[in-house]
């Protein structure tokens, strides 16, 4: 594949990479850094990309492994404690309607319910639409682990919405 063609194909996927990265980091600056670092790795490893492979999956894998490497290097995830605040700023900067902004905030709040190991499988399966098998390949984990993490994520979200409905009912009665 020619370098120019490869770069053009990557450019088309940058928004998807940014969304995935933001779901991992929850901070716009860290997300942008992660995407930039991942793209540099992808361009450097262009020769390793197999011609008939899924470029988007390959790039998601690079983003994910780069994110894991960053966490390991920092030996802490303290840099990601302000996720919600950073996500709010990122979304607010896009002139979204109040309803859309509330949905984004709800999603960001819900993501904070998940462990770091649950976020990537949930995002890839439930947001990006990848199958469990594709997600397992992207993240380098077993299909059973993907299924388990997505199932636990959904259970947490069901509990979150159940609690939220109960709170709304209580507010109506008061």
115-174 has the same fold as 1-81: no
CB 104 within 8 Å of CB 91: yes
Confidence (pLDDT) at 58 = 95
Dihedral sign of CA atoms 9, 5, 69, 36 in order: negative
Domain ranges of the chain: 1-81, 115-174
Q: What is the mean pLDDT of residues 67-76?
A: 69
Condensed to tens digits (0 to 9), the pLDDT of residues 102-139 reads: 545 566 677 788 888 998 998 888 878 788 888 999 99
Topology, domain 1-81: Rna Polymerase Sigma Factor; Chain: A (1.10.1740)
Condensed to tens digits (0 to 9), the pLDDT of residues 137-174 reads: 999 999 999 999 989 988 887 787 777 665 555 555 54
Condensed to tens digits (0 to 9), the pLDDT of residues 5-33 reads: 888 999 999 999 999 999 998 889 889 99
The overall average pLDDT reported for the chain is 78
Q: How far apart (Å, rounded) are the C-alpha atoms in residues 131 and 38?
A: 23
CB 75 within 8 Å of CB 29: no
CATH class of the domain comprising 115-174? mainly alpha
Residue 95 pLDDT greater than 50, yes or no = yes
H, E, C per residue of the chain: CCHHHHHHHHHHHHHHHHHHHHHHHCCHHHHHHHHHHHHHHHHHCHHHCCCCCCHHHHHHHHHHHHHHHHHHHHCCCHHHCCHHHHHHHHHHCCCCCHHHHHHHHHHHHHHCCCCHHHHHHHHHHHHCCCCHHHHHHHHCCCHHHHHHHHHHHHHHHHHHHHHHHHHHHHHHHC
Quick one: 125 exposed, middle or buried, by C-beta within 10 A (0-12, 13-18, 19+)?
buried
């Amino acid at each position: 594949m020619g370098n120019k063609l490869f770069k053009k194909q990557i450019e088309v996927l940058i928004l998807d990479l940014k969304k995935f990265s933001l779901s991992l980091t929850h901070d716009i600056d860290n997300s942008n850094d992660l995407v930039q670092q991942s793209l540099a790795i992808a361009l450097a490893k262009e020769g390793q990309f197999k011609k008939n492979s899924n470029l988007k999956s390959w790039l998601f894998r690079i983003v994910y492994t780069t994110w894991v490497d960053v966490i390991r290097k920092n030996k802490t995830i303290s840099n990601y404690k302000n996720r919600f605040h950073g996500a709010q700023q990122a979304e607010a900067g896009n002139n979204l309607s109040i309803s859309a902004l509330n949905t984004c905030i709800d999603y960001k709040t819900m993501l904070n319910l998940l462990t770091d190991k649950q976020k990537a499988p949930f995002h890839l399966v439930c947001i990006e639409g990848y199958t469990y098998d594709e997600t397992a390949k992207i993240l380098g984990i077993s299909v059973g682990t993907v299924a388990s993490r997505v199932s636990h994520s959904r259970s947490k979200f069901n509990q979150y919405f159940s609690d939220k409905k109960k709170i709304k009912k209580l507010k109506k009665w008061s």
